[in-house]
Amino acid sequence: MIELRNITKTYNKDGGAEVKVLQGINLAIGQGEFVSIMAPSGMGKSTMMNIIGCLDQPTGGEYFLDGIEVAGMNDDDLSRIRNKKIGFVFQSFNLLPRTTALENVELPLIYSPDDLDIKAKAKSALEAVGLGDRVGHQPSELSGGQQQRVAIARALVNDPALILADEPTGNLDSASSNEVMAIFKKLHQDGRTVILVTHEPEVAAQADRIIRMKDGQVVSDERRAN
């Protein structure tokens, strides 16, 4: 499903100095895998996640998503790919504060060309993460774990094949983290590809494959025994 070939990413700092964030990443992730990308802060894992999620473009190399070369595509094409194929979950939830859980989950459907019953589909996504009784609640009326589950429902509402989660348990207590990880495991069992970025070993260990990064490079790729 995902193939990165010699991916590099370089930023120019003030004064013109170059900072090499990714240095020749080669990586393949198959359909239906549950993968964690693990590294300390500043080692390139979030940059790689942004490239995989078509939120950013590499400086060099090739990126194939479902066999289609996406490195070099324009913003409109990348936006269509994100909306159709990818669901995003972030550490900070990114929910609209004065909007109900249902309305937050409806947002990605507004841009869908399909003739959908938006409210019914959003409600179904909330029910899938155990929040069918919280559809009318605003984020301030929900716990951190519940807010993250709303964010997961929003990521699921377009039925993407790929879920990308960047530090999804970073703002949660242990009990809420376990609830959220149980949802990711269920998504994987249902056939979705799940890739999560984390610096927490106990979170990474729940994936079937752990990719470790350091200084913008992949330093190990471990497949865990089932």
CATH classification at residue 183: 3.40.50.300
Q: Which of 10-14, 125-129, 162-166 has the lowest mean pLDDT?
A: 10-14
Structure tokens at 42: 């500043």
Model confidence pLDDT, tens digit, residues 48-103: 999 999 999 999 999 999 999 998 888 888 988 888 899 999 988 999 999 999 99
d(CA 68, CA 170): 32
Confidence of residue 16 (pLDDT cuts 50, 70, 90): confident
**Parent domain of 54:** 2-223
User: How far is Cα 101 from Cα 147, in angstroms, rounded to an integer?
Assistant: 8
Structure-token pair, residue 25: 């990443």
Predicted model pTM: 0.91
Handedness of CA 41, 86, 32, 89 (dihedral sign): positive
Residues 6+ apart with CB under 8 A from 162: 1, 2, 85, 86, 87, 192, 193, 195
Pick the range with the lowest mean pLDDT from 78-87, 114-123, 129-138: 114-123
Say if residues 138 and 103 touch (Cβ distance below 8 Å).
no
Closest-CA residue to 37 (of 149, 163, 167): 167
Domain count for the chain, please give it: 1
